[in-house]
Amino acid sequence: MRQKNKRPMRRKLARSHREFLEKEGKTFTDVRTALQQKISRRDNRIKILREQLKSIEDEHKKEIHQIGVLNRRELRKLQTKINNWEKRYRELQNKVGKKPRTVFYRTRYKHYVPPAVVEKFENTLTEVRNNVSERHLENFEKFTKVLQHLDEYNYEFVTDLNITHYLLLLTLLFHKETLLGITVSNIEIPTLTPHTIRKGLNYLADKGLITRVGKIKFKINGMGEDLLNDIRNKDSFGNSAVLEQIKKATGMRKYEEYDDLL
């Protein structure tokens, strides 16, 4: 005769706790309380560490952003070089196996007649050379290059710098050796009121280009000096602002673009 499966013996909660005490040497309630306290201490420690990490990130947020901008700038420079090398390599590949052909027309032109745009461009250059002093051309070139670099800086770093901020940076650069900084009352720039000077200095300090020394004193820092050095180096490369203006006025720029397509 087949025996039925017996129901397993039910243990009371008190017996389970008694067996746990005999096996572990501690009561079940004590062990559970100790584990809960350990978990609570762990959660509190995690909360404190997260708050410290957030405060560190907020404190160095501006420095991290500036480092990221510089790294992206260097990456774009390297990518531009690579693109130029690839372009030259493709051009050399296309020239392989092709013999350059040059055709000489000996009797087509008796004399050279320049186009009207070229002649107008040459006449304009002659008038500028004869009627405009070199100091005017130099001032125009420098002011234009300063404004061009400020415009590029504003686009890259999302700022709103103008010629007033540039003059304030130059003034602070002149007083760089003053360790205690310089106050607004000691800065005198024609056509600029003390309110405009104070507003410009506060804006430069907010953007990290100068440093506050006390409540009312300011001093230029490394970022501000780097900006002035970049503006100074702007004159050593790039197209001439004077020639670009003359080309645009005389139509020479469009003529050069059309000539490149031929």
Q: Do residue 145 and residue 236 come from a single domain?
A: yes
pTM: 0.48
CB-CB contact of 115 with 249 (8 Å): no
Q: Flag whether 73 is in a domain.
A: no
Across the chain, which has 262 residues, the per-10-residue mean pLDDT values are 65 79 84 90 93 87 87 93 90 69 64 67 68 70 84 90 92 84 88 91 92 88 90 72 67 57 36
Q: Flag whether 98 is in a domain.
A: no
Q: Do residue 132 and residue 248 come from a single domain?
A: yes
CA 198 centroid distance within chain: 25
Q: Do residue 237 and residue 120 come from a single domain?
A: yes
Q: Which two tokens stand for residue 183?
A: 């106050």
Q: Flag whether 225 is in a domain.
A: yes
Neighbours of 40 (CB within 10 A): 10
Q: Tell me the residue range of the domain where 223 lies.
A: 116-261
Q: Flag whether 7 is in a domain.
A: no
**Residue 13: per-residue pLDDT:** 78
**Residue 92: per-residue pLDDT:** 79
* Residue ending a domain, choose from 15, 43, 59: 59
**Residue 261: per-residue pLDDT:** 36
Q: Under 8 Å CB-to-CB from 57, ≥6 apart: which residues?
A: 64
**Residue 205: per-residue pLDDT:** 92
DSSP 8-state class, residue 112:
-
Q: Flag whether 97 is in a domain.
A: no
Q: Do residue 55 and residue 120 come from a single domain?
A: no
Q: Do residue 125 and residue 242 come from a single domain?
A: yes
Spell 144-179 as b/e; 16+ CB within 10 A means b: bbbeebbeebeeebebebeebbbbbbebbeeeeeee
CB-CB contact of 228 with 192 (8 Å): no
Q: Do residue 49 and residue 141 come from a single domain?
A: no
Q: Flag whether 243 is in a domain.
A: yes
* Residue ending a domain, choose from 42, 59, 76: 59
**Residue 258: per-residue pLDDT:** 44
User: The CATH number of the domain where 176 resides is what?
Assistant: 1.10.10
Q: Do residue 124 and residue 252 come from a single domain?
A: yes
Q: How many domains is the chain partitioned into structurally?
A: 2
Q: Flag whether 75 is in a domain.
A: no
